[in-house]
Structure 1
Amino acid sequence: MTAIWLLLLHMLLLGSAPPLVRHVRLHMADWPAGAAPMRIALLSDFHVAMPGDSATHLAHVVESVNGSHPDLVLLAGDFLSTGTLFVKSADVRDAIAPLAAFHAPSGVFAVLGNHDEGARAALQAALATSRVALLHNAAVRRGPLTIVGIDGVLTARSRMRAPFSGFSHLAGPKLVFTHTPDNVPQVDRSFRLLLAGHTHCGQIAPWPIGPILTASATGRRYACGVIREPDRLTIVTAGLGTSSLPVRLGATPDYWLIDLGR
């Protein structure tokens, strides 16, 4: 019985623990000669709620990210906590307010997640107040990099060609960031770098079994971390917060620093 209580305590503490910082350096063949490298911070699944994943906790994470001096910050959705037991969800404005403290000279961009759909209008207003640009199936160019942001779930039938048609032909490096990795198989193959969250790396992923559930139609294919395929690379973050239950096991919260250059 003592072991069970200790395991439960560990899971509760890990659920709201400070995130690991995962770092990858990618050398992109189409990065323009002479263009300065860029550092991207990827964060997702904030699920701001009290007591663990509070706005204060998020403010500390923002401070940590700023200390790494990113050029660009990408926020891959699920800012809110819905349908979660034993916690109190934060007000939309309280959940978003800490994001205003990000320092990134090339900007802070966001897409929405499935937990955000019920408060889309309020989130749009709060993000704008916090100087976070929402990309709803749209693209921007920052330096040599084209960034496409997709929210919602793509389907084989729609494939959301609009975000890709005007940018897939452009020379130079491109990336797509989206909330769920379910979109990865549908993304135009000209995009070689894809960033996502949503899975929480399983949230409950005991060794040696691994993720019990990933909340993804692709199962474990894009469950966590760096996924290398012959023609592209996908990075899936474990996210910061929790969903359904405020616990984690074997799936530590994290965010990613991605250095892109020639």
Structure 2
Amino acid sequence: MRIALLSDIHVGNLVMRPKRLRSIVDAVNEAHPDIVLLAGDFVIGESYKGTARRALDLAPLASLRAPGGVFAVLGNHDHWTDPEAVRSSLRSAGVFVLENDAIRRGAITIVGIDDRFSGHDNIARSAQRAAKLGGIPIAFTHSPDLAPDMPKNMTVLFAGHTHCGQLVAPVVGPIVQYSRGRRLYDQKYSCGRIVEPRRVTIVTGGIGSGELPLRFNARPDWWLVELAPWKSDATYKRKVA
């Protein structure tokens, strides 16, 4: 099973216009994923004003092609602005939004856990919904910081949020590390593939860049992950966006 992971689209940013989003959608379709996971932060900003109009620019997502479906969770910026407008635009694009919920697709169960950074995650409810469906649970969320609190049977977690630091200075590391007086994320989960005794967490750098249309030493990306039975590992391909 091939899973495409995208996050942090951030429409409204000067460099994330519908034309660029369409080109990324085309690249994802060329990889022929079975399932597409969209890990939150679809819009920029922290204000309700203007979000409904910006969310309309998510329309190119309707062209995503995945026989198992396209699924999404919301991110902190979605919750801080106009979550209903974001949900509406995603539904119009044929994207199924999971909010602390799960859905079965063949042998696996997709578990969508809402965003921890904005205080909307409910791991217990998500786990209960997944348990009722059976199957192998594959979890995704926006902020990766909930990884240590995940149930033992959820051994794969996909996330975004970090932008891989977005502006990463040599030696110093990420320049922006706090938002609203809080650390944005645990640096352990800053970027890429994190292997722990009971779990593999994959954190994409995202395809957008928040309100600041600039990245340094942190290229935008999306991931294509192939899961297969009877293998000790999966195949990972990090795609530059």
* Normalised-by-shorter TM-score class: 0.7 to 0.9
Displacement of 1:90? 8.3
Aligned partner of 2:73 in structure 1 is 111
Closer, same or farther: CA 83–155 of 1 in aligned 2, 3 Å: closer
Instruction: Supply the distance in 1 between the matched residues of 2:200 and 2:172 (Cα, whole angstroms).
Output: 25
Instruction: Supply the distance in 1 between the matched residues of 2:73 and 2:97 (Cα, whole angstroms).
Output: 6
Displacement of 1:170? 6.8
Instruction: Supply the distance in 2 between the matched residues of 1:90 and 1:207 (Cα, whole angstroms).
Output: 38
Q: Choose which of 29, 53, 58 in structure 2 pairs with 1:91.
A: 53
Aligned partner of 1:63 in structure 2 is 26
Number of matched residues? 221
Displacement of 1:92? 3.7
Displacement of 1:173? 2.5
Displacement of 1:51? 3.0
Displacement of 1:54? 1.0
Q: Any idea what SS the aligned residue of 2:5 has?
A: strand
CA contact under 8 A between 2:109 and 2:130: conserved in structure 1? yes
Instruction: Supply the distance in 2 between the matched residues of 1:175 and 1:189 (Cα, whole angstroms).
Output: 12
Is residue 202 of structure 2 the alignment partner of residue 239 of structure 1?
no
Instruction: Supply the distance in 2 between the matched residues of 1:235 and 1:52 (Cα, whole angstroms).
Output: 25
Is residue 166 of structure 2 the alignment partner of residue 203 of structure 1?
yes
Closer, same or farther: CA 50–180 of 1 in aligned 2, 3 Å: closer
Is residue 110 of structure 2 the alignment partner of residue 147 of structure 1?
yes
Instruction: Supply the distance in 1 between the matched residues of 2:225 and 2:52 (Cα, whole angstroms).
Output: 29
Q: Any idea what SS the aligned residue of 1:221 has?
A: helix
Displacement of 1:200? 0.3
CA contact under 8 A between 2:2 and 2:33: conserved in structure 1? yes
Q: Flag structure 1 segments of 5+ consecutive residues without an equivalent.
A: 1-37
CA contact under 8 A between 1:109 and 1:134: conserved in structure 2? yes
Displacement of 1:40? 0.3
Q: Deviations over 1:35-70 (max 9, x none)?
A: xxx100000000112531112111110000000000
Instruction: Supply the distance in 1 between the matched residues of 2:112 and 2:132 (Cα, whole angstroms).
Output: 17
- Of 195-204 and 236-245, deviating more is 236-245
Displacement of 1:190? 1.3
Instruction: Supply the distance in 2 between the matched residues of 1:167 and 1:69 (Cα, whole angstroms).
Output: 26
Aligned partner of 1:220 in structure 2 is 187
Query: How high is the sequence identity, in percent, across the aligned residues?
Result: 44
Instruction: Supply the distance in 2 between the matched residues of 1:155 and 1:51 (Cα, whole angstroms).
Output: 25
Displacement of 1:109? 0.2
CA contact under 8 A between 1:211 and 1:220: conserved in structure 2? no
Q: Choose which of 108, 111, 130 in structure 2 pairs with 1:167.
A: 130
Q: Any idea what SS the aligned residue of 2:217 has?
A: coil
Instruction: Supply the distance in 2 between the matched residues of 1:185 and 1:145 (Cα, whole angstroms).
Output: 21
Aligned partner of 1:187 in structure 2 is 150
Calculate the aligned-residue CA RMSD, in Å. Answer: 2.5
Q: Any idea what SS the aligned residue of 1:51 has?
A: coil
- Of 61-70 and 235-244, deviating more is 235-244
Q: Deviations over 1:164-197 (max 9, x none)?
A: 0242487652211000012212221210000000
Instruction: Supply the distance in 2 between the matched residues of 1:56 and 1:155 (Cα, whole angstroms).
Output: 30
CA contact under 8 A between 2:103 and 2:130: conserved in structure 1? no
Instruction: Supply the distance in 1 between the matched residues of 2:214 and 2:185 (Cα, whole angstroms).
Output: 23
Q: Which has the larger radius of gyration?
A: 1
Q: Choose which of 194, 197, 200 in structure 2 pairs with 1:230.
A: 197
Q: Choose which of 70, 88, 95 in structure 2 pairs with 1:125.
A: 88
CA contact under 8 A between 1:227 and 1:233: conserved in structure 2? yes
TM-score (norm 1): 0.77
Letter in 1 for 2:203: V
TM-score (norm 2): 0.83
- Of 215-224 and 140-149, deviating more is 215-224
Letter in 2 for 1:197: G
Closer, same or farther: CA 214–189 of 1 in aligned 2, 3 Å: farther
